[in-house]
């Protein structure tokens, strides 16, 4: 809007707000406030509003804060900053000095409607100073056993048990088993080498479920669409919840089971 105004800038790439500058010199008397011109107008993204915030250095060293600070998305006039001087001495600034930070924040806009009654809440009509009085909500907890499962190449042979049975269960002693993630806390996992991973890819083609899931994820990636939650497809391998998705193949499943001590 004004010839000598500056476009808002960020001091660092990850900074939350853009610094905005004063367009002319000024002095804010001690314990007073002033509306400071910036010489700029902005157009905010749809679904946001602009918020003006104090710069931390000015606030901590000179007691300068920002008043008001809400900019509606449909406002296209000059941005002015209300600076408040809480210090005991006058504060001087020059044209080009950074005086505030500007942020575009998401907002939901709704029309207000009149209703007859409000829902009952624990707090009700208790106002200022009511945090530590009134009814309290009692929080209780109930201890329960963790349910776990030994997975076998044939799902019909899967065995379920409680954490109390972990040291007495027959499966770890008598069978080759695959342990679920529920047991990671009590076993020592070992790393599988790259040659094993190379065998997963062709083996997966024999498993209809594995193949169908890979085809689905591949199509989504080609279309640059979001993959289902927890699923990833990298280097031709499927991962679910950061764990390798193993095809249903007896040789592969047996090899995985062998690296789980029992």
Per-residue pLDDT band for 262 (boundaries 50, 70, 90) equals: very low
Percent of the chain clearing pLDDT 70 (strictly above): 72
Per-residue pLDDT band for 183 (boundaries 50, 70, 90) equals: very low
Q: What is the pLDDT of residues 1-16, one digit of tens each?
A: 788 899 999 988 889 9
Question: Residue 134: left (phi > 0), alpha (psi -120 to 50), or beta?
Answer: left
What mean pLDDT comes out for the span 87-102?
A: 96
- Say which range, 117-121, 225-229, 239-243, has the weakest mean pLDDT: 239-243
Q: What's the confidence (pLDDT) of residue 132?
A: 62
Q: Which residue has the higher pLDDT, 131 or 180?
A: 131
Q: Which residue has the higher pLDDT, 14 or 250?
A: 14
Contact (CB, 8 A) for 122 and 42:
no
CA distance 215 to 212: 5
Tokens of 159: 């065995």
What mean pLDDT comes out for the span 133-161?
A: 61
* pTM > 0.85: yes or no: no
Q: What is the pLDDT of residues 34-82, one digit of tens each?
A: 999 999 999 999 899 999 999 999 999 999 999 999 999 999 999 999 9
> All domains of the chain, ordered by start, with CATH?
18-106 (2.70.40.10), 147-258 (no CATH)
Per-residue pLDDT band for 154 (boundaries 50, 70, 90) equals: low
The average confidence (pLDDT) of the chain is: 79
DSSP strand pairing (33-37 vs 80-85): antiparallel
- Report the chain's C-alpha Rg in angstroms: 32
Q: Which residue has the higher pLDDT, 202 or 164?
A: 202
Contact (CB, 8 A) for 24 and 101:
no
């Amino acid at each position: 809007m004004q010839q000598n105004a500056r476009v808002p800038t960020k001091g660092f790439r990850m900074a939350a707000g853009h610094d905005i500058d004063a367009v002319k010199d000024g002095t804010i008397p001690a314990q007073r406030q002033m509306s400071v011109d910036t010489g700029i107008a902005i157009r905010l993204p749809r679904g946001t509003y602009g918020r003006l915030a104090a710069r931390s250095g000015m606030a901590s060293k000179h007691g300068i804060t920002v008043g008001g600070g809400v900019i509606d998305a449909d406002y296209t006039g000059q941005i002015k900053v209300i600076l408040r001087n809480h210090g005991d001495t006058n504060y001087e600034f020059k044209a080009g000095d950074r005086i505030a930070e500007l942020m575009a924040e998401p907002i939901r806009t709704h029309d207000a409607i009149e209703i007859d009654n409000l829902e009952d809440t624990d707090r009700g009509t208790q106002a200022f100073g009511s945090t530590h009085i009134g009814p309290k909500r009692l929080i209780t907890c109930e201890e329960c056993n963790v349910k776990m499962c030994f997975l076998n190449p044939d799902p019909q042979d899967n065995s379920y048990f409680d954490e109390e049975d972990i040291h007495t269960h027959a499966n770890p002693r008598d069978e080759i088993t695959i342990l679920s993630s529920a047991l990671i806390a009590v076993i020592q996992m070992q790393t599988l080498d790259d040659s094993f991973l190379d065998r997963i890819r062709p083996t997966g083609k024999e498993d209809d479920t594995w193949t169908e899931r890979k085809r689905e994820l591949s199509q989504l990636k080609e279309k640059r669409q979001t993959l289902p939650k927890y699923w990833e497809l990298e280097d031709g391998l499927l991962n679910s919840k950061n764990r390798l998705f193993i095809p249903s193949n007896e040789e592969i499943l047996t090899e995985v089971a062998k690296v789980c001590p029992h």
